[in-house]
């Protein structure tokens, strides 16, 4: 498939994956002629340079360590700066591109006038939140300027400097969005919002005594759900809820916001996220995934329900290459779309694609695993190995269902591919298949960290795409780098904001309350496991998947350990449950991605998804209550799980 067609599909999938509708033609023209365009170009250049510079540094560090027995001690400080740039400047770039995640469940049910009011309200909330965070972050930078980094002896505040700069960019972009809205509507919503703020501030001494104890966190959670359902992007809702709790409970200074956000993006392992995303997009746009899917087609395409079987098997393999779910879905969906629509219908294809994406959440390398590893004590390597069999269990459940439904419908199996065709496809797939071997082997053998392995995956993918297959040129690569930086900006910005919200829940003693609730229920691990699955599915729908892990995993995983459960096994269960929420029909963002790629009606795809969703839930329960599936491989290799 030509790279250009794949690129277009991928861009639309990323846009919808983050619940951002594509700008209208009028908006696009406005953006092109906007005075902010030079600023946009500078911001895009900064995040692209940060990503490429950090990639070069990681690879150079490995080279120096292997050949000269020397490591760059300052690389950790450089990594923290790069992550800060990607999170906050990249988050602003993504906001300008309308790629921040928000929930449309309620918006889709509202009349047009109310929906427009919610869009205006969303931009006003963004202006308010980034203004508050930007002011607090400038204070934080000023107060910490005298502190020096351990190795380079530079002002430590430099690492946090992208935060206020990003807030300024976000404020300008949000104000520009507001200037394009109906002025009467924007003024009305803005005046109403300011009036509520002024009234709340003027009467604070009257209502503050009533928010002692649990009342403050109840108000905070209520505000959280109201703004989420109103369509405010997830990251800004998390910041708003944290700020509201700080003010309502008088729990501390607003400087806690930038301090916690800066700390939240400081983990070196988070660098693996942009590298894996970049590797996934290169794989999808450089012709690598096409060759893999064609090879899998020759292996299982003759089974009953053949193309649907190929979709499931392809998602299993491709998920092990990119780590990025939008890239996975686009890589398989764009290749299979036309044949699926012709043989099985677009709705059935979208349903199987979504169910397979849930299955692929625990196939390494998984961004969800990297995030859990960065915020808990669970080993990323153990999760990478432990996730293979649970994903295979879900894949076999889906393939069995497809076979039975095809047999009941009287669908004959397709002719088996000739040996010669299979051999030719296998030869072309050898080079792409070396990538997962390199990823897992590098981590398990201790040759490199996940971040370093991800960096080598980028170089390997570039070599295949640009030199071996010649389906990607330099311009296409730079566009891919910018798309990676924007998508990474969304994830890391939400990660930083979720770290703040997690702090709020901890200060409000939510973990202790969960433990107390478990004791009231008799400390049953079965009830705890079922409750966790339901909670992650629900929160995964509301928070667009990955943010739900940021908020909930640090609270629940330690409790699972105290109950005697394996934290690694429990983490994998949470990741799959999060995937169910992210691909839930009519609600999950990932489900909309699949519908866009398959070009099908959402309602029809939702009906087609129901049997596959049921079988995925059954498979999840099997994995949850039979720990052997998750623990067997890590124990065999030597991990203590």
Domain total for the chain? 2
Residue pair 284/476 in contact by the 8 Å Cβ criterion: no
Is 348 inside any structural domain? Answer: yes
| Strongest mean pLDDT among 51-60, 220-229, 311-320, 516-525 | 51-60
Nearest to 78 by CA among 159, 20, 179: 159
Same domain? 238 vs 332: no
Same domain? 68 vs 101: yes
Is 419 inside any structural domain? Answer: yes
Which residues lie closer than 8 Å to 201 by C-beta, 6 or more apart? none
Is 10 inside any structural domain? Answer: no
Q: Which neighbouring-strand residues pair with 155?
A: 148
pLDDT of residue 616: 95
Is 69 inside any structural domain? Answer: yes
Same domain? 345 vs 215: no
Q: What's the average model confidence in pLDDT over 464-487?
A: 90
Q: Which of 49-53, 87-91, 264-268 is least confident? A: 264-268
Same domain? 436 vs 541: yes
Same domain? 465 vs 608: yes
Same domain? 232 vs 299: no
Q: Which of 266, 290, 313 is the last residue of a domain?
A: 266
Is 632 inside any structural domain? Answer: yes
List the structure tokens of 367: 């961004």
Same domain? 218 vs 288: no
Nearest to 528 by CA among 577, 484, 495, 487: 577
Residue pair 543/552 in contact by the 8 Å Cβ criterion: no
Same domain? 214 vs 300: no
Q: How many CA atoms lie within 13 A of 288 on its CB side?
A: 35
Residue pair 179/208 in contact by the 8 Å Cβ criterion: no
Is 408 inside any structural domain? Answer: yes
Positive or negative CA dihedral for 554, 556, 559, 561?
negative
pTM of the model: 0.82
Same domain? 275 vs 249: no
Is 517 inside any structural domain? Answer: yes
Is 589 inside any structural domain? Answer: yes
Same domain? 401 vs 538: yes
Same domain? 295 vs 258: no
Same domain? 187 vs 295: no
Range of the domain at 317: 270-637
Confidence check: pLDDT of 479 > 90: yes
Say if residue 25 is exposed, middle or buried (CB neighbours under 10 Å; 0-12, 13-18, 19+). exposed
Write out pLDDT tens, residues 90-127.
Answer: 999 999 988 887 777 788 788 888 889 999 999 999 99
Q: Which of 236, 266, 296 is the last residue of a domain?
A: 266
Q: Which of 266, 295, 312 is the last residue of a domain?
A: 266
Q: Which residue has the tokens 């996940």?
A: 450
Q: H/E element holding 461?
A: helix 450-462
Instruction: Considering only residues 551 and 460, tell me which one the structure prediction assigns the higher pLDDT.
Output: 460
Confidence check: pLDDT of 444 > 90: no
Separation CA 233–CA 18 (nearest Å): 9
Separation CA 510–CA 507 (nearest Å): 8
Write out pLDDT tens, residues 343-396.
Answer: 888 889 889 999 998 998 888 878 888 888 888 889 888 998 999 999 999 999
Kindly report the average pLDDT of the chain as a whole number. 83
Band (pLDDT 50/70/90 cuts) for residue 147 is confident
């Amino acid at each position: 498939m030509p790279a250009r067609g794949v690129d277009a599909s991928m861009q639309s999938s990323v846009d919808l994956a983050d619940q951002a509708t594509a700008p209208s033609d009028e908006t696009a023209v406005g953006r092109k002629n906007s005075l902010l365009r030079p600023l946009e170009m500078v911001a895009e250049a900064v995040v692209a340079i940060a990503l490429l510079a950090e990639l070069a540094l990681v690879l150079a560090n490995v080279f120096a360590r292997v050949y000269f027995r020397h490591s760059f001690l300052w690389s950790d400080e450089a990594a923290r700066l790069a992550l800060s740039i990607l999170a906050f400047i990249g988050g602003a770039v993504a906001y300008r591109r309308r790629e921040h995640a928000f929930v449309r469940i309620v918006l889709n049910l509202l009349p047009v006038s109310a929906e427009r009011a919610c869009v205006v309200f969303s931009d006003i909330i963004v202006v308010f939140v980034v203004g508050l965070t930007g002011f607090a972050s400038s204070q934080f930078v000023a107060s910490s300027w005298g502190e020096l980094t351990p190795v380079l002896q530079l002002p430590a505040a430099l690492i946090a400097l992208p935060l206020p700069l990003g807030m300024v960019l976000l404020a300008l972009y949000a104000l520009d969005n507001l200037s394009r809205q109906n002025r009467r509507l924007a003024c009305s919503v803005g005046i109403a919002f300011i009036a509520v703020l002024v009234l709340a501030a003027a009467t604070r001494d009257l209502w503050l005594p009533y928010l002692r104890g649990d009342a403050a966190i109840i108000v905070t959670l209520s505000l959280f759900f109201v703004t989420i359902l109103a369509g405010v992007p997830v990251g800004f809702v998390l910041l708003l809820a944290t700020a509201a709790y700080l003010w309502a409970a008088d729990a501390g200074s607003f400087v806690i916001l930038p301090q916690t956000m800066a700390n939240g993006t400081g983990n070196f392992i988070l660098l693996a996220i942009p590298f894996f995303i970049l590797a996934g997009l290169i794989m999808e746009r450089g012709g690598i995934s096409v060759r893999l899917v064609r090879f899998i087609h020759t292996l299982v395409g003759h089974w009953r329900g053949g193309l649907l079987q190929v979709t499931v098997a392809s998602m299993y393999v491709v998920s092990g290459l990119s780590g990025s779910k939008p890239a996975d879905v686009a890589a398989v969906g764009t290749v299979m779309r036309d044949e699926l629509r012709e043989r099985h219908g677009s709705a059935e294809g979208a349903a199987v694609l979504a169910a397979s994406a849930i299955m692929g959440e625990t196939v390494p390398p998984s961004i969800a695993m990297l995030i859990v590893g960065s915020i808990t004590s669970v080993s990323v390597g153990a999760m990478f190995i432990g996730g293979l069999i649970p994903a295979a269990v879900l894949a076999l459940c889906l393939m069995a269902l497809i076979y039975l439904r095809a047999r009941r419908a009287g669908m004959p199996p397709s002719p088996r591919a000739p040996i010669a065709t299979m051999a030719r496809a296998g030869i072309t797939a050898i080079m792409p298949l070396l990538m997962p071997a390199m990823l897992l082997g590098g981590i398990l053998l201790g040759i490199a960290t996940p971040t370093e392995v991800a960096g080598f995956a980028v170089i390997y993918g570039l070599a295949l795409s640009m030199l071996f297959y010649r389906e990607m040129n330099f311009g296409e690569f730079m566009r891919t780098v910018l798309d990676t930086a924007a998508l990474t900006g969304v994830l890391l910005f939400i990660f930083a904001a979720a770290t703040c919200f997690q702090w709020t829940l901890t200060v409000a003693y939510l973990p202790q309350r969960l433990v107390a609730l478990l004791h009231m229920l008799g400390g049953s691990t079965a009830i705890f496991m079922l409750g966790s699955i339901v909670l992650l599915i629900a929160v995964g729908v509301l928070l667009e998947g990955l943010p739900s892990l940021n908020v909930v995993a640090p609270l629940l995983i330690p409790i699972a350990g105290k109950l005697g459960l394996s934290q690694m096994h429990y983490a994998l269960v949470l990741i799959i449950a999060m995937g169910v929420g992210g691909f839930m029909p009519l609600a999950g963002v990932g489900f909309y991605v699949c519908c866009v790629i398959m070009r099908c009606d959402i309602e029809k795809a939702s009906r087609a998804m129901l049997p596959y969703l049921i079988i995925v839930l059954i498979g999840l329960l099997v994995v949850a209550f039979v720990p052997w599936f998750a623990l067997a491989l890590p124990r065999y290799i030597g991990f203590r799980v």
